[in-house]
Amino acid sequence: MNNRLKELREKALMTQEELAIRAGVSRQTIISLEKGRYNPSITLAYKLSRIFGLSIEEVFLLNEMEEE
């Protein structure tokens, strides 16, 4: 699963630490999400999308190959 977290975070002039605090997770979790090494729970995906005022689908992009 790809995501736009880094792009959105930087556009909002937010550090990884600031985003982590707002989302209630560790900075390491944000790093892993931005690098695509970790897929968030639906709860975390919802929290992150709400921080940026977007839908989950606008933040997290499911690769069609992953569906198979």
CATH code, domain with 31? 1.10.260.40
Boundaries of domain holding 38:
2-67
14 phi-psi bin (left φ>0, alpha ψ -120 to 50, beta other): beta
Q: How many domains is the chain partitioned into structurally?
A: 1
What does each of the 68 residues of the chain score in pLDDT, given as a tens digit?
Answer: 799 999 999 999 999 999 999 999 999 999 999 999 999 999 999 999 999 999 999 999 876 555 55
Question: pLDDT value at position 33?
Answer: 97
Specify the pLDDT at position 64. Answer: 56
Its pTM stands at 0.86
CA distance 45 to 56: 6
- Nearest Cα neighbor of 36 from 15, 66, 11 is 66
Residue pair 51/23 in contact (Cβ under 8 Å)? The answer is yes
Find where tokens 């959105």 sit.
Answer: 8
